[in-house]
Amino acid sequence: MKRIMRYVCVLLLLTAATGFCYAGRPPVVLGAEQVDVILSIIDGRRVGLVVNQTSTLEAPRRVHLLDTLSARGVSVKKIFAPEHGFRGTAEAGELVGNSRDARTGIPIVSIYGKNKKPTPEQLRDIDLVIFDIQDVGARFYTYISTMHYVMEACAENGKECVVLDRPNPNDFVDGPVRKEGFESFVGLDPIPVLHGLTVGELARMINGERWLKKKTDSCRLSVVPLKNWAHGDAYRLPISPSPNLPNEQSVRLYPSLGWFEATNVSIGRGARFPFQVIGYPDKAYGDFVFTPQPIPGMDANPLQKGKACYGLDLREYPFEGGLTLRFFLSFYEKAGKDATFFARPEWFDLLAGNKELRSQITAGLTEQEIRLTWQEDLEKYKAMRRKYLLYPDYTVDAKDIVPEYNDTGLKYNDTGLKYNGTGLKYNGIVLENNGIVLKNNGAGLKNNGIVPKNNGIVLENNAIVPKNNDIVLKNNDTGLENNDTGLEYNDTGLDS
């Protein structure tokens, strides 16, 4: 029996690692994995790639996009490398120089640092640029700013831009919308901190809303969309996008801990668990202790280097996902509500995308009061967002998707199941108009049963159970608890 259970566990882990989210559903197919579609778009033209270590095809085996296209005879002229470099080993904010790929000899051009946008000279021998980088769904994570600049360069130089889509692992809409006057590399576009889009959808929004440098410009844009994914679906990143987000918990907490980068409070850079701990060199801040030290490839000179920091260990914290100010407000209170807590106030304002958030915090507003001030802009953004969606949207409002607590005490699990009397409310299987939903099909099935009622497994009038069938199930409870997967390797880009 133990051997069987061990086998089942291994199968579940393999399922998660290969993109399956739920039993009985096909795996997510990345844009990069649709090679025939990509080749038909390229059609013999000369190509530039904006890629890093995340730019891999997961099926049938993990192979980098560059190697895949080169093996199919594509003329790849240049690689454009974002923050952290082509291999994803440079620290946050570290300048990345030009080089050549050791395997193919193809030139690698850095577009992080002084040169954030491909120049006309760099694009001269290229017909189209392909962007394929895994994002984490937060405005201040810099890969989407790189994509914006690449699109801008393509528009200015008459080149086509092709975005190979990937899922958003922080797929929520929340936080303040960036205000005019707070444009920066951690906030080029007027979107919330959590924008609730894939990179392909965001590229369509940037183009459609004329957010490129010349308001009248749009680039020739193609998006190779995902298959078998919808908004709200859980997705395990197979490769971490940058050095300081080493696992799934760090990616989940990243949007909420990013604010601390404008303070003297450490969020674990220089430890083996960045973006999973919070601490300051004062015992009043908590019982958990860690000491930041230089770590090559992660942070050579971490904040509070060599000092014992006291605070919180969030590595096993059952965080529900989304965005919260609770950690930041708690540490601000422990600091004596002193405005000097904001060691880099201008940087905080750029991360927030406005100056109001800092003023609200120092004025003593609660998180609920602060959130109310975001709502008008968020509602306008949500209406705009709907125009650019490529995938079925959430079936419930974001406020329902992100509860703080629920009746079973469950807060978050990686199957995407959240909150109701059984611990389940929303998951990626409960998506309207997705490919699994069957309506009035030839088998005479009524009101398909893949849309559960009152919990994720409960089926009522389902497509598998004909009308008036005695096998109709109700209140069939499972209640998964802390079903976690672990990411490998990721970062912030907040040190620019």
Q: Which range is least confidently modeled, 1-5, 22-26, 96-100, 306-310? A: 1-5
Strand pairing of 76-81 and 192-195? unpaired
**pLDDT for residue 398 is more than 90:** no
**pLDDT for residue 120 is more than 50:** yes
Give the model's confidence band at 351: pLDDT under 50 very low, under 70 low, under 90 confident, else very high. very high
User: In this predicted model, which residue has the larger pLDDT, 8 or 430?
Assistant: 8
User: In this predicted model, which residue has the larger pLDDT, 401 or 257?
Assistant: 257
pLDDT value, residue 200: 98
Query: CATH fold of 248-372, please?
Result: Aspartate Aminotransferase, domain 1 (3.90.1150)
**pLDDT for residue 164 is more than 80:** yes
Cα 249 to Cα 277: distance, rounded to the nearest angstrom: 11
DSSP letter string, 338-350: -GGG-SSHHHHHH
pLDDT value, residue 101: 85
Convert 401-434 to b/e letters by CB count within 10 Å (16 or more is b): bbbeebebebbbbbbbbbbbebbbbbbbbbbeeb
Please give the structure tokens belonging to residue 223: 């998006």
Among candidate residues 279, 307, 281, 274, the one with its CA nearest the CA of residue 293: 307
pLDDT in tens, 84-117: 668 644 444 445 567 788 888 999 999 988 889 9
Give the model's confidence band at 18: pLDDT under 50 very low, under 70 low, under 90 confident, else very high. very low
Please state whether the peptide bond connecting residue 243 to the residue before it is cis, i.e. omega within 30 degrees of 0. no
2-224 CATH, one of 3.40.50.300, 3.40.50.11440, 3.40.50.12170, 3.90.25.10: 3.40.50.12170
**Mean pLDDT of the region 376-405:** 77
189 Cα distance to chain centroid = 16
Please give the structure tokens belonging to residue 51: 């890629």
pLDDT value, residue 96: 59
pLDDT in tens, 420-434: 233 333 333 333 333
pLDDT in tens, 366-390: 999 999 999 999 999 999 999 999 9
Cα 238 to Cα 15: distance, rounded to the nearest angstrom: 12
**pLDDT for residue 239 is more than 50:** yes
Using DSSP's 3-state secondary structure scheme, residue 220 falls into strand
Give the model's confidence band at 464: pLDDT under 50 very low, under 70 low, under 90 confident, else very high. very low
**Mean pLDDT of the region 157-173:** 97
pTM summary value: 0.76
130 contact partners, CB below 8 Å, separation of at least 6 = 38, 47, 48, 49, 50, 51, 65, 162, 163, 164
pLDDT value, residue 176: 98
Q: Where are the domains of the chain?
A: 2-224, 248-372
As a whole number, the mean pLDDT across the chain is 79
Please give the structure tokens belonging to residue 471: 């096998």
Cα 59 to Cα 198: distance, rounded to the nearest angstrom: 20
DSSP letter string, 461-474: S-SSS-TT-TT---
pLDDT value, residue 87: 65
